[in-house]
Amino acid sequence: MKKWILLNEQEYEDVWDRFYDEFAFNPNIDGEQSFKFSCPFITYDLSNCFEGKWTDDDNYIFDHILLEALILCTEEHEYIYALDWHHDGYWMNPSLNLNLNENDHQWKIPFFPNGDYYFFLQKDFKWGYLGHPWEKVIYIFGEELIKNSKELRASRLKKTNDKV
């Protein structure tokens, strides 16, 4: 099984159309809310990361917590959407031994929103992770992913709102 499978053109168009509709996606840099949620969600502030206050260990812990949460939310052979706004999108299987220590570019789309919107979504949009580079925040939505990413609360991230 492949770790990452490039979305074909139809899958790409369909997932983005659905994403724009379901989240009233409004990409912007002027502080307006970019997403609307119809389910529980939590927002975490990443501004410390952008200000250089994070160590390599902090980055590893952040990635590890998110990967583990995705693994807990998926079946062994289940793929989820991994999307990079205006770039290629993929099906990604969190369980396929994605080594966070390797520097071989196996991560087609990173968790940390370092200049683009990065999204990881369950195929039916029941839960997901949305990274916003200009607001310097991440959104975690859906009860299952919120529950499985609870370790983020103990990390150096500051929770800015909780709509659970």
Q: What tens-digit pLDDT sequence spans the chain (164 residues)?
A: 788 999 999 999 999 999 999 999 999 887 678 999 999 999 988 888 777 777 888 888 888 889 999 999 999 999 999 999 999 999 999 998 666 655 544 678 888 888 899 999 999 999 999 999 988 899 999 999 999 998 776 566 666 776 65
| 90 phi/psi in degrees, rounded to 5 | -140, 160
Map tokens 């724009």 to a residue. 20
pLDDT of residue 142: 96
- Distance between CA 139 and CA 115 in Å, rounded? 16
pLDDT of residue 159: 67
- Distance between CA 52 and CA 46 in Å, rounded? 11
pTM of the model: 0.90
Q: Could you tell me the residue range of the domain that residue 37 belongs to?
A: 4-162
3-state helix, strand and coil shares in percent for the chain, rounded to the nearest 5: 30, 20, 50
pLDDT of residue 29: 80
pLDDT of residue 130: 97
Report the domain count for the chain. 1
Map tokens 């002027």 to a residue. 30
